[in-house]
Amino acid sequence: MIKRLLIANRGEIAVRIIRSCREMGIETVAVYSTADAGSLHTQLADKAVCVGPPPAAKSYLAAENLAMAALRQNCDAVHPGVGFLSENAAFARLVRKAGLRFIGPEPDTLALLGDKVQARAAALSFGLPITPGTKDAVAGIEAAEKAVKELGFPVIIKAAAGGGGKGMRIVRQIEELSVNLKLCMREAEANFADNRVFIERFVEKPRHVELQILSDGKDSVSILGERDCSVQKNHQKLIEESPSPAVSAAMREKMAAGAAEMFRELKYTGAGTIEFLVEGEDFYFMEVNARLQVEHPVSEMCTGIDIVRQQILACMENRMDIKSGTQPAGGHAIECRVNAFSPGKITRLEVPGGPGTRFDSFLYQGADVPPYYDSMIAKLIVHAENRNAAIARMSRALSELVIEGVKTNLTSQQQMISHPVFRSGIFDTSFYEQYAAC
């Protein structure tokens, strides 16, 4: 087992990782930009080091600085967290070249799964259905026009190296194709330094469902149930829940079987999430997030499994404390993401408590919310015996949560949780756009 681990991230996910490490007897080294000097993760870690100025490119994305910090602090391993360099194969190689362990899959696996075109081909080879689309990246407008004639409208153009809703454009008629292809390629180049794009048939009103998976890099693959992430704004998740109201037992079994085969054949190591679009009783592979997910607490609440702990064990010792196969799960869990619409200082913070209630955040009274990074500042998670009880518990917890000093989406989250369509469980990824006035 490792003795000291550097967390190459910030905010609530860094705090979350520190907590598991402390229970495992692992010392932690936090990194921070000058904008995050007073953040909670720097206070909870055993050591904190500054890695640069506020822009992420000069701090949390400065791969060599992060690797050097780990070496100077005598760390054994690096945990990349969520976002930033968490799925960056070059960073994983750099960490390993420095003689450190990387808490994540092998660099070649990251490279494969990070390329959406290659990932689709891999999924298909393991028997997972994919949405109809181009086999390879689209080179130009002629190839794009040929593809849409075969697929029919609407289609969606996606960055091959993309993620997080960036480099994506929906096209509904031929006149829109050329301009959107150019825009998508430009966005892909700007965000991922890779302008390759591919085209898929656009599924109009799907559910967004994902499986949480843990794998030891050998033969043990554990499925921790599915999460429904259909409440989104501009492809950014707002509310997640488990189990999904839209997934039948038969569909769940088929998803799990294909996912387990894929992860086992890839000799995947650590935590990963396989995402699907669900349309009625049909489901289609979308992508693999080869890292810890923001919404992992939903699965933890239903299974009682510490995903960060198992991830570290898998990557450090090629073993886990849990058995292979689908893990027992009970009750219903819901997570609401709390986003800030403005930077500022937290002048008042009141955190809800009570049964089955969890609050993951880097906030404290007096904490600064800088303007440079992701808008998510907290996650509120609840667990109860069934979905109706979980909704009631979330509504209660949201009413207790007070965050002052910055503008947040708490009111919107309460309204969505209380909306009769959400309560019915019958909705899709258009829920937010349809009921934005709620």
Report, as residue numbers or ranges, the catalytic residues: 291
**Structure tokens, 251:** 């569909």
Residue 328 DSSP code:
P
**Structure tokens, 220:** 């043990």
| Among 137, 133, 152, residue whose Cα is nearest residue 184 | 137
Cβ-count burial of 423 within 10 angstroms (0-12 exposed, 13-18 middle, 19+ buried)?
middle
Degrees, nearest 5: CA angle 375-380-383: 150
Residue the block writes with tokens 């080869």? 290
**Structure tokens, 24:** 């495992």
* Integer Cα distance of 52 and 393 in angstroms: 41
* Integer Cα distance of 162 and 167 in angstroms: 6
| Among 311, 361, 356, 363, residue whose Cα is nearest residue 334 | 356
- What does the buried/exposed string (b/e) look like for 158-180 if buried means 16 or more CB atoms within 10 Å of the residue's CB? bbbbbbeebbbbebeeeeebeeb
Q: What's the Cα-to-Cα distance from 396 to each of 13, 300, 354, 406, rounded to whole Å? A: 25, 21, 10, 22
Question: Residues near 307 by Cβ (< 8 Å), separated by ≥ 6?
Answer: 212, 214, 224, 271, 292, 296, 299, 300
| Among 397, 438, 390, residue whose Cα is nearest residue 415 | 438
* Integer Cα distance of 31 and 202 in angstroms: 40
| Among 4, 108, 26, 17, residue whose Cα is nearest residue 307 | 17
Given strand 101-102, what is the order of strands in its sheet? 47-52, 27-33, 4-7, 77-79, 101-102
Residue the block writes with tokens 């050998």? 218
- Residue 82, amino acid: V
Q: What is the DSSP string of 295-311?
A: THHHHHHHH---HHHHH
Residue 340 DSSP code:
B
Looking at the chain, how many residues does it have?
438
